[in-house]
A and B are shown apart, each in its own frame.
Chain A
Amino acid sequence: EAEVAQSPRYKITEKSQAVAFWCDPISGHATLYWYRQILGQGPELLVQFQDESVVDDSQLPKDRFSAERLKGVDSTLKIQPAELGDSAMYLCASSPEVGEQYFGPGTRLTVT
């Protein structure tokens, strides 16, 4: 069964360093999402792509976060510089059509 792939699964970085996460959606899924989930809270949508275009990035802290999906397939989420408050689970999901979302295993980021 096809799955959303994410890497790395775990990342520890120091404050002020740059960090990047990668997501490979299920083949053929045009819509891709990045979520941030702070411990004890629900997921927060950071950015939504439709193919290579950003549909919604209203909650993305653009001073330090960037996301791209250059060829409309895999995607990278970057944080530069990382801050202590960025420690969270970063989830990627993809969707073939309205209403459906399939989640990857997530990347757990710890900023020290």
Chain B
Amino acid sequence: KNEVEQSPQNLTAQEGEFITINCSYSVGISALHWLQQHPGGGIVSLFMLSSGKKKHGRLIATINIQEKHSSLHITASHPRDSAVYICAVARGYQLIWGAGTKLIIKP
């Protein structure tokens, strides 16, 4: 079993839909990262969480440390949100990466 599990693996939705991507982990962590990668592009950090909830624009990230679970939400999704979203957990200075969720938003 992988130490970081993301679901779903692939997600296709219509523009305007509310999107949820989930991340579960099985190890002790110091922080959890949500990252975005557009096709052929580099990695962009969206959020770093150690507790609670963070919001940036249409993006919201939550983490439940007791349940070892985090969610990334996108409100009013737009085709430009189409990308791979990656959950990565920090153990000390190292990151353990999830497999990513490929999101496609259709106009």
Contacts and interface: CB of A to CB of B under 8 A. Distances in A.
Interface size class of A (residues with CB under 8 A): 20 to 34
A106 B42 contact: yes
A89 B40 CA distance: 8
A101 interface: yes
Given A99-B50, A103-B43, A42 B90 contact: no
Contacts, number: 52
Contacts of B66: none
Interface string B30-43: 11010100001111
Given A42-B86, A99-B31, A100-B48, A48 B93 contact: yes
A98 B92 contact: yes
B99 A101 contact: no
* Chain B interface residue bracket vs A: 20 to 34
Contacts of B98: 42
A43 B42 CA distance: 11
Contact of A99 (B30, B42, B43): B30
A108 B98 CA distance: 22
B33 to A, nearest CB: 7
Interface string B54-97: 00000000000000000000000000000000100010111101
B45 A55 contact: no
Interface of A: 31, 37, 42-43, 45, 48, 50, 55-56, 89, 91, 95, 98-106, 108
Interface of B: 29-31, 33, 35, 40-45, 48, 50, 86, 90, 92-95, 97-100
18 contacts: A42-B86, A42-B97, A42-B98, A43-B97, A45-B94, A45-B95, A48-B93, A50-B93, A91-B43, A98-B30, A99-B30, A99-B50, A100-B90, A101-B90, A102-B45, A103-B35, A103-B43, A108-B40
